[in-house]
Structure 1
Amino acid sequence: MKAPKTLLAFGMTTAMMFSLLPSAYADQPVSASHTSSKAVTVLPSPALPADNVASDKANEEAAARAKISKERAIELAKASADVPADYSLQNISFNTWGATGKTGAWSLSFVKEEQDRYYGNIQVTVNAETGKISHISKYVNDPENRPSFPPKVELQEAKTIAGQLLERYNPELKDAVRYNEDMEKWAKPPLDGNVSYSIKYDRLVNGIPFPGNYIQFTIDSNGNMTQYEYYWEEQLSFEEAASALSQEQALQIIKEQAKPHLNYLMNGNSRGKKWEPALTYSLRNVLLDANSGKFINEAGKPASASVSYSPLTDKPLAPMPPSNLQLTEKQAEEQVRKLLSLPENAELTDAYYNENVDSGVATWNLNWKAPQEGGKDEYWIYASVNSSTGEILSFNKGRPIVLDKESEQQESQLNAETAKKTAIEFVQSLYPHYSNQLAVDEQAFNDFPAEKIRMAESVIVPFKQLINGIPTESEGISVQIDSATGEVSGVWTNLYTSPHPENVPELMDDKEALSLLLSHYDLQLQYVIPMNPGYPVPIIWTKSSTSEEEAKSAKPVYRLVPKHPLDGLFLDASTGQWRSREDGSPANPEKQQASDLENHWARKELQLMMDYNAIDVVDGKVYPDKEITRGEMIKMLVIARNGGGFVPYFDQSRKATFADVGSSSPYFSYVEAAVDANLIDRSQSSFQPDSHMNREELAALLVRALGYSKLAEHPDMFRLSAADADQIQLKGQVALVLGLGILTTSEDGRFQPEQKVSRAQAATSFYRYLEKRATLRDTPIQYY
């Protein structure tokens, strides 16, 4: 039986791969490298294993047979993407692999160049069978097109523009799609004018959304379409849902049968402080079959709503190894040879020593080469050894990978149970001191059908680490089994070795935890394709041909979807409080609302700062007229200046610039980030984070943020029209912020330099700073 070599990874590793892949991978056009040639050429597809891509000759033949000719594809691409006349066709390629199906697709790239300067690129993908446009992306390098703040186009207007584009590109499908609101849950009001809105329409079947097929537009802050995606599989069947469970019935099943997943969240370390491992409750990502009322996994196989883990042994099979060995290179090699039984003829080719100062772990990293049996091709072996304990941290043994289309691969006799048995024996032999802390992740084996295991080149068996019998979130060991030999060909460790909690604290009742978790989720009915989330998976090579039932059938399921962003948060299993993963501090997953902002003149600006946690809300109030502290001011500026997406982090290795803002201060990282950005004069002896800031100091801070502090040192260049100018020391700085309209004078024309700044005034000044910053930047024309 002919089949490509495959690597099959169970559990979390694979789930992460799925979650990180783009929604329509194979419909993405091949990015063309820039050349000076304007010739139109048909290029081959990217190099892939032989069973997954046609040969160059086959591509040429397919292109010749395509209903849409190259010339017609160019016409369609220009018209659909509104390609300007000053753009020229750089290249055109044809491929027959991936989501474009057997008919293939034309991928075209247009560029604008003048005097060796690059002004823009437009890429278009055209279905060679139907002429349908499946992808458009546009990049414009025009210095005159600078984004302004606030954006000219906000979300609601972007949705209107997307609706008009839907009418243009897919008028026949406007009633067959539904707007996906999920993007709005995660979106925050922008702190920068350079913003894009992703407007997605999910395919609608039997009144049920199918997110795996969609039409999506990306609209920029000027209202221009920068990307269009059309991913629609015609050859699909959909299971009837006429007698499906109601949402109330589905929710009742979940309440009765689901159990919150308890695990340890380990190794919190942020803002220069550490916190103890925390116990957290979470919900497992399982689906409820809407027709049968049974829980299933992403593969469509039966799954439990809760999972239990059994340690390999009740007690460790051996004591912990000594932690002061300080192995030499020779000793490290001997340790690997002894533990892993390397071939005698394996030759050490290189070794290097690495010491991680932060973690305190020193390792020897060793590489060998060894001939195959009978003197055939050489293969390589790699191992990483903990220099202090002699433990194997990772190991991998490679062998030649045959990608020849004509090569034969027999189905492996390896099955899940054999792989698991081999992995357990290996772990108990190599890590006997952890045998009571490790459990096979049994649920992971249900994610893949037996036939895929038989055709896999390697199978990875994951082990969860247990602390006090409770699984950790991501710590454990993964063992790779070679399907051809049945031997261990790799191992990767990620174990929590710091002191473990001695006792388990009192926990919330399961039902209480489940109710609390469910209150933050919506239950949505949607179609899914088992083992196929709607996009190809290029990382794990699988058989190119799958069963019709697996590849073509979608089923209705109920899925729990967060009502608001829960990333970066966890539910404390003892207190029921949501906490930050960064430092364990209390957090609120819902959008913050302040009861004292109604009808306040700075409501919009304060709400924006609240949305980015740039200003604290205490007991439901933001206290807009309260004087702001210097620490609060710097935190607000740093977050606003960085667009809200970057939260600075400095650990205890960073020496505090000011003695009164040490690593334990909540403002430490913000102050240090401000020092590095030259927003604060580091020559001062102290920062005084709890004192208040006056208007003159605020003016100086804003001018530094704009990058004009040196310019402000020439006050004679500016006109300062404040009535109390004689009371102002920093005349250049005040003149700049008044002239730009970031700060204003009172009705009688006074600046009032000594007046303390309120929280509302600070938020407003930073909002105006963001407005002016966008208009003051010069943007050069970039060379390609």
Structure 2
Amino acid sequence: MVRIWRRLLAWGLMALLLLSFFPGIAVAGDTPAVSLEEAIRAVKDNFNIPKEYNIFTSSYNSYDNRQTWSLHWNAPGEPGGSFNADVDAKTGEILNMNTWKPEKRPEPGLRLPVISAAEARRVAVELLNRLAASYVPELQPLPDDNQLIPLNNYGPVSYTFRWQRVVNGIPFPGNGVTITVRGDDGQVTNYNLNWTKVDFPAATGAISPEKAREVFASAGMLELQYYLQPPVRPLAAGEKRPVLLVYRLSHPSRGLIDALSGKPLDLGNGGWFDKGGAGGMGDASLEMARKAAALQGGTQSKPLSPEEMKEIEKTAKLISREEAIAAVKKWVDIPAGLTLRSANLYADWQDPEIRSWNLTWSSDKPQTGKVNFMSARVNAGNGELLGFDLPSTPSGNDRSGKLDRKAAQRLVEDFLQKVQPQRFKEVRLDENSRPGWEPVIMEDGKNPAVQYFYYRRLVNGIPFPGNGINVTVDAVAGRITSYNLNWGNFDFPAATKILDGQQAVETFLKNRPLTLSYTRIYSPGGPGQGELRLVYQPLGDTSSATSDMIDARTGQFLDWEGKPIAQQPRPYRFNDIAGNFAEKEINLLGQAGLFGEYGDAFRPDENITVVSMLRAMLMARNGVWGYKDMKDEEILKRARDEKWLQEDLQAGATVSRELLAKFLIRFLNLERAARVEGIYKVPYSDAGSLAPGSLGYVALTWGLGILKGNGSTFEPNHTVTRAEAAAALVRALQVKQ
């Protein structure tokens, strides 16, 4: 008997040991068909893993009816490096791979790709046919000609290629293959196979595209809204963020129409879907807060600036800390045992002209089950209560609330009518803005312990989601635990000369047509792989960015900053440079998004202007984002800040060869060397015509191979063409300092 007991104990300990190594293995039936050794060999047979990555670990995962081996190779010590792969433990298929190796400190100069996009695609296609041959018949390549190639030396250029799954002739954006190839050595750095193995609903019985358009229009998928551009920089005194009139895809279905029933898809509470290549722009918000700086006086009084005097005058009119506390107590009972810990006066992040008191209380001796913390915000100008927060339901979230949704709403609205009587008339409850994880009614019929409410601001009868009131109710204790007012003072454009609803739908669907497709619908607590549905959804051009929002006047798609997507940086393939001496250099700069003033026309023989040259230099140094639409005056200012522009020139002035030499030597941070006198010679017969102080710049551009003039002459006053400027800029970027 003792021997049997010892044997059972030994088997039990072995089972626990196996579970510690393979936590996903729960039962014998879950044992992987593919062994760890087979998984390792599959990866090593298809990829070259650097020998120095000699620290190896693995894990086994079982989830959503899928078993995988996760394999990890790492390099010891610094600078490190890693290679990771996941292998299907049932089929032996490689599901994904990614690798990273440290880059040596980059040398100055342009890092040109050695491998062309066409060569990289051949590498990717070969790998696709080797690893996913059985899936290739259902894969469709997506356009890859919209990739910007950055002109920097921070890392190698990489090319990314994507294939989308098509089933029964219907796209499934959530499934496909992605492969990334390095442009310097042609090595694959990322491979990802996303494939759902389920039965697909047949497309028979699906409504027509025309019927889907009718449903889209009649359901009110697009809502006319005011859109507040998020702050990307601190606002100047008196400056306000602009508000735009937009049509926005804000329907609870997120634009999905059930292709079989012909009705907008009900995603359910907290549901979401796999967008895949559909794109879309989510709401963006960025909180910026500035604390007031303490003034320290010295022994000798110094005069105050007008700005400082203005700030002092504003602050003198604000309510005191004690008055702010009294404003809180007027509407909220501060729990017993809490002590005021901080009181900060700060400028509102939306409108610096508004000052607010931020107050916090806490307990000296926190106790379980009691309120130990509280915070509140008060408008320091008029004593208005802007918000307060108490800990959520000390009684526990697992208890059923005594207030149902309607009772909690009555509690909230009674409070708002007292504390914000006028603004309550200017808001409307938005049931679609509840947190997805908090249902209105629990599955067992009980009320949730916490209820959330969001009231959107209405301006001229038009929703303004950027402003509103959030309130949280502890439904167990029957009290409000959180109230926050977000309400700015903005200039709202009149809703005149805008597209009507039908025009907005037509404009939206012209660029994002309703496409019959498969998608996966997820819900909290639902199957991990989601429910596969046949839907119509507005899919955009996969080769370019898209969004859920259009300008209500122009119909242009807008990004999260409210700027037209069509104006975002993109690569250019110039159609007028064939045979030009600088064709190669111009093509390179076009792929990086430079010199796009005329779209896909470069105009190589046109004279380059000062602002066009400086804009290209800024883009080459810092990247294209933010400079494409920057005003000419700001470009000149940035160039002066960089010390590239030291002459008094207008934006539209032409650039002489002598001036270009100065621009590019300053660009390379070699001006100090260029100013050294008495050491330079140039092989130009017209060197005597150079302006005083220019010899060093011209000599350096000649020695570095950036500018060679016309052979025996430099012709300093020669007006530089756009082609000549592009060639010189690329040569400057290739200089190794």
| Bin for the TM-score computed over the shorter chain | 0.7 to 0.9
Residue 295 of structure 1 aligns to which amino acid in structure 2?
A: P
Residue 707 (structure 2) aligned to one of 743, 760, 771: 743
Greater mean alpha carbon deviation, residues 204-213 or residues 561-570 = 561-570
Matches within 5 A, 1:587-736: 597=576, 599=578, 601=580, 615=595, 617=597, 624-647=604-627, 666-681=631-646, 686-714=648-676, 720-728=682-690, 729-736=693-700
Q: Quick one: distance in 1 between partners of 2:120 and 2:442? A: 44
Kindly indicate whether the alpha-carbon contact (under 8 Å) linking 2:61 and 2:69 is maintained by their aligned counterparts in 1. Answer: yes
- 1:242/1:419 CA distance change after superposition, 3 Å: farther
CA deviation after TM superposition for structure 1 residue 287, in Å: 1.1
Kindly indicate whether the alpha-carbon contact (under 8 Å) linking 1:346 and 1:371 is maintained by their aligned counterparts in 2. Answer: yes
Q: Quick one: distance in 2 between partners of 1:580 and 1:755? A: 42
Q: Secondary structure at the match of 1:333?
A: helix
Q: Deviations over 1:419-451 (max 9, x none)?
A: 544444443333323223212224446978756
Residue 356 (structure 2) aligned to one of 363, 370, 376: 363
Residue 223 of structure 2 aligns to which amino acid in structure 1?
A: H
1:480 is aligned to 472
Q: Secondary structure at the match of 1:336?
A: helix
Kindly indicate whether the alpha-carbon contact (under 8 Å) linking 2:609 and 2:654 is maintained by their aligned counterparts in 1. Answer: yes
CA deviation after TM superposition for structure 1 residue 153, in Å: 3.1
Q: Deviations over 1:531-568 (max 9, x none)?
A: 35xxxxxxxxx5xx43x5x9642111122123375669
- 1:139/1:390 CA distance change after superposition, 3 Å: same
Q: Quick one: distance in 1 between partners of 2:71 and 2:271? A: 44
- 1:355/1:241 CA distance change after superposition, 3 Å: same
Greater mean alpha carbon deviation, residues 612-621 or residues 345-354 = 612-621
- 1:699/1:337 CA distance change after superposition, 3 Å: same
Residue 617 of structure 2 aligns to which amino acid in structure 1?
A: L
Indicate yes or no: 2:59 matched with 1:59: no
1:573 is aligned to 552
Question: Which one scores higher on RCO, CA 8 angstroms, separation ≥ 6?
Answer: 1
Indicate yes or no: 2:458 matched with 1:495: no
Q: Quick one: distance in 2 between partners of 1:508 and 1:701? A: 47
2:285 is aligned to none
Residue 380 of structure 2 aligns to which amino acid in structure 1?
A: S
1:531 is aligned to 522
Kindly indicate whether the alpha-carbon contact (under 8 Å) linking 1:286 and 1:559 is maintained by their aligned counterparts in 2. Answer: yes
Residue 160 of structure 1 aligns to which amino acid in structure 2?
A: R
1:110 is aligned to 73
Residue 48 (structure 2) aligned to one of 82, 90, 104: 82
2:425 is aligned to 436
2:460 is aligned to 468
- 1:688/1:337 CA distance change after superposition, 3 Å: same
Residue 506 of structure 2 aligns to which amino acid in structure 1?
A: S
CA deviation after TM superposition for structure 1 residue 301, in Å: 11
- 1:369/1:256 CA distance change after superposition, 3 Å: closer
CA deviation after TM superposition for structure 1 residue 149, in Å: 4.5
What are structure 1's unaligned runs of at least 5 residues? 1-43, 45-53, 304-321, 533-541, 650-664, 778-784
Greater mean alpha carbon deviation, residues 754-763 or residues 269-278 = 269-278
Structure ID, larger Rg = 2
1:427 is aligned to 416
Q: Quick one: distance in 2 between partners of 1:393 and 1:565? A: 41
Matches within 5 A, 1:540-579: 542=524, 545-546=525-526, 552-563=530-541, 565=544, 571-574=550-553
2:95 is aligned to 134
1:506 is aligned to 497
1:281 is aligned to 247
Residue 730 of structure 1 aligns to which amino acid in structure 2?
A: S
- 1:207/1:745 CA distance change after superposition, 3 Å: same
Q: Secondary structure at the match of 2:505?
A: helix
Kindly indicate whether the alpha-carbon contact (under 8 Å) linking 2:321 and 2:343 is maintained by their aligned counterparts in 1. Answer: yes
2:291 is aligned to none
Residue 260 (structure 2) aligned to one of 283, 291, 303: 291
- 1:745/1:671 CA distance change after superposition, 3 Å: same
Q: Secondary structure at the match of 1:519?
A: helix
Residue 224 of structure 1 aligns to which amino acid in structure 2?
A: Q
What are structure 2's unaligned runs of at least 5 residues? 1-15, 273-313
Greater mean alpha carbon deviation, residues 724-733 or residues 60-69 = 60-69
Identity of matched residues, %? 25
1:309 is aligned to none
CA deviation after TM superposition for structure 1 residue 78, in Å: 4.2
Q: Quick one: distance in 2 between partners of 1:736 and 1:562? A: 49
Kindly indicate whether the alpha-carbon contact (under 8 Å) linking 2:515 and 2:537 is maintained by their aligned counterparts in 1. Answer: yes
Q: Secondary structure at the match of 2:134?
A: helix
Q: Quick one: distance in 2 between partners of 1:123 and 1:716? A: 58
Q: Quick one: distance in 2 between partners of 1:145 and 1:499? A: 48
Aligned length, in residue pairs: 659
Q: Quick one: distance in 1 between partners of 2:599 and 2:139? A: 42
- 1:480/1:205 CA distance change after superposition, 3 Å: farther
Residue 384 of structure 1 aligns to which amino acid in structure 2?
A: R
Q: Deviations over 1:725-759 (max 9, x none)?
A: 3333533333333344433432x532221122233
Indicate yes or no: 2:349 matched with 1:387: no
1:232 is aligned to 195
Q: Deviations over 1:260-281 (max 9, x none)?
A: 4322233588898867533233
Q: Quick one: distance in 2 between partners of 1:190 and 1:90? A: 34
Residue 735 of structure 1 aligns to which amino acid in structure 2?
A: A
- 1:754/1:415 CA distance change after superposition, 3 Å: farther
Q: Quick one: distance in 1 between partners of 2:92 and 2:164? A: 22
- 1:198/1:398 CA distance change after superposition, 3 Å: farther
Q: Secondary structure at the match of 1:641?
A: helix
1:48 is aligned to none
Q: Quick one: distance in 2 between partners of 1:444 and 1:715? A: 69
Kindly indicate whether the alpha-carbon contact (under 8 Å) linking 1:275 and 1:583 is maintained by their aligned counterparts in 2. Answer: no
- 1:595/1:201 CA distance change after superposition, 3 Å: closer
Q: Quick one: distance in 2 between partners of 1:301 and 1:241? A: 27
What is the TM-score normalised by the length of structure 2? 0.75
Q: Secondary structure at the match of 1:244?
A: coil
- 1:737/1:505 CA distance change after superposition, 3 Å: same
CA deviation after TM superposition for structure 1 residue 524, in Å: 2.6
What root-mean-square deviation, in Å, do the aligned CA atoms of Structure 1 and Structure 2 show?
Answer: 4.6
- 1:366/1:446 CA distance change after superposition, 3 Å: closer
Residue 539 of structure 2 aligns to which amino acid in structure 1?
A: V
- 1:58/1:768 CA distance change after superposition, 3 Å: closer
Residue 323 (structure 2) aligned to one of 318, 331, 353: 331
1:208 is aligned to 170
CA deviation after TM superposition for structure 1 residue 165, in Å: 1.5
1:38 is aligned to none
- 1:160/1:292 CA distance change after superposition, 3 Å: farther
Residue 494 of structure 1 aligns to which amino acid in structure 2?
A: N
Kindly indicate whether the alpha-carbon contact (under 8 Å) linking 2:22 and 2:61 is maintained by their aligned counterparts in 1. Answer: no
Residue 85 (structure 2) aligned to one of 105, 124, 127: 124
Kindly indicate whether the alpha-carbon contact (under 8 Å) linking 1:323 and 1:389 is maintained by their aligned counterparts in 2. Answer: no
Indicate yes or no: 2:182 matched with 1:220: yes
Kindly indicate whether the alpha-carbon contact (under 8 Å) linking 1:353 and 1:365 is maintained by their aligned counterparts in 2. Answer: yes
Q: Quick one: distance in 2 between partners of 1:724 and 1:242? A: 80
- 1:647/1:411 CA distance change after superposition, 3 Å: farther
1:780 is aligned to none
What is the TM-score normalised by the length of structure 1? 0.71
Q: Quick one: distance in 2 between partners of 1:323 and 1:612? A: 49
- 1:451/1:557 CA distance change after superposition, 3 Å: farther
Q: Quick one: distance in 1 between partners of 2:498 and 2:101? A: 55
Matches within 5 A, 1:297-376: 298-299=267-268, 326-355=318-347, 359-369=352-362, 376=369
